[in-house]
Amino acid sequence: MAAPPARARADYDYLIKLLLIGDSGTIDFKIRTIELDGKRIKLQIWDTAGQERFRTITTAYYRGAMGILLVYDVTDESSFNNIRNWIRNIEQHASDNVNKILVGNKADMDESKRAVPTAKGQALADEYGIKFFETSAKTNLNVEEVFFSIGKDIKQRLSDTDSRAEPATIKISQTDQASGAGQATQKSACCGS
C-alpha cells in the first residue's frame, strides 16, 4: 500500500521568526500571515518582553530568530535606556545577520506623559543603523507598518541569499575522472596532510 502524500507547505512561501524584546510584557506567541511582493510570509511573533532576565530561556528564544523588534515605552525612559542592553544581548545570543528594528510604543499617550521624544528614538536607531517606528498597540498606530517593514527586509535578505547560493550539484565529466586519478596523490591543504 502506498504511503499518503507528504503534506505540502502550500500556505506560505517564507516562514519568519520574529522576537519582541523589551522591558515589559509577557511571553506571548502569535502567528500572522502577510503578503509581500506576491509571496505569502508567515510570521511567528514571539513576545518575550520582560522575560529575558531568565537567561536559560533567552538563548532558546534567540536561536533561529530572523528579526528582532526592540520595543520601549515612550512614557518610560528607563525602558528606552535599556535598549542598549538588549542590543548587547542580541549581539551575544542571536545570529549576526538578524534584522533589527526599534519601536517606541504607546505613541497614543498624551504628550505630557511622554518621557522619550521621537527625535531621541530616531537618533538611537540611526546610531545602530536600524529602522525606527513609533507605534500604539492600543490604537494600532503603525503596528502593521512595523511588521510589513521588517518582513520585507527579511524576505529581501533571504531571497538575496537564495540567489547567491551555489548549486549543490557537482558534475564530473569523463575527462575529469581520468585526470582525477593523478590528482589523488596531491596533498590536501585543508587537513594538513
pLDDT tens digits, one per residue of 149-176 = 999 999 999 888 877 765 555 555 555 4
pLDDT tens digits, one per residue of 91-135 = 988 998 999 999 999 999 999 999 999 999 999 999 999 999 999
Is the whole model's pTM more than 0.95, yes or no? no
44 has which bridge partners?
A: 17, 31
CATH classification (class only), 14-161: alpha beta
Q: Where are the domains of the chain?
A: 14-161
Grid coordinates of 4: 499518503
d(CA 159, CA 20): 23
pLDDT at residue 186 tops 80: no
- Name the residue with cell 503596528: 143
pLDDT at res. 3: 44
pLDDT tens digits, one per residue of 7-46 = 445 688 889 999 888 876 546 668 889 998 898 999 998 8
